[in-house]
Amino acid sequence: MVASELGIWTEWLPPSPVASADLQVSFAKAGIEPPPVPEILLPHLRSNQDGWAWSTAPSLSSWSVYGYNGAVNTEPTFPIVLAPDHPNYFLCAHRGYGFNSWLLGISIRLGAISVTVQDGWGGAYTDNQRQAQCISNVHSELTEFLGRTDLQETEAPCDYALVFSPPRGIALVAKRSHERVNLRHQLLPKGWLPVYEAHPMERLANPGRKELDNGLDSDGPQDELVGLLRRIMDGAQKPYSDQE
């Protein structure tokens, strides 16, 4: 798996209508609701020669959704995909290693929104049936959210980014600022501010703690994600310095 001189990873097959069918069949067999592929991106969807990966962005490795902050010999997904001139894209892959380090991740940029979500699935010690239901719920929420007509501007600058990864303990909503920003963040490029940041694993240790301002008492990844999506839809304005 290498990148060519044109910046295209050789693991990706050419765009084909077969890719969409392959995605649907693969998720149906796994008992998981498929992730939402924006309609405007469907003609560009590719399958992967190693299986269980689909993308419209061959410049990104399928491993990008496993280590989006830079891992396994790939460049970090962030901050690349937040650049103003980065095109819309869809990427979904199941990647991992060993007995239990396996993640199912999706990364989508559509208009002004960037969404990256990953969760554990396929590990030897994972409750994969329960995880399949959790992931299906998350995909359902994303399908509804990304179906909003005001997100269909194909080349709008990215204004909001969502990163949600219970296995890595990250729940983040960030906003591009038009003011000069000097804050350093492990995921975000200059000019971006986290407007909400929490650690899902801390919630498991402190089940009575409510971290979302909308009063949502999360009982699982679906509720947590809904809270993050609401922050984007409401145009979150709360300064990062006010967060817990």
* pLDDT score, position 128: 93
* List of the chain residues with pLDDT < 70: 1-7, 68-76, 149-155, 178-183, 199-222, 224, 233-244
**Which strand (E) or helix (H) includes residue 138?**
helix 128-146
pLDDT in the model for residue 196: 82
Question: pLDDT value at position 5?
Answer: 41
Nearest-5° Cα angle at 138, 88 to 142: 35
Q: What is the pTM of this model?
A: 0.83
Structure confidence at residue 204 (pLDDT): 41
Q: Mapping DSSP to helix (H, G, I), strand (E, B) and coil, where does residue 227 land?
A: helix
How many other β-carbons are positioned within 10 Å of the β-carbon of residue 233?
Answer: 13
pLDDT at 168: 81
Report pLDDT for 35.
96
Domain ranges of the chain: 17-236
**Which of 206, 199, 216 lies closest to 163 in space, CA to CA?**
199
CA-CA distance, 33 to 140, in Å (whole number)? Answer: 7
Longest dimension (CA), the chain: 52
Burial (CB count <10 Å: 0-12, 13-18, 19+), residue 130: exposed
pLDDT of 244: 37
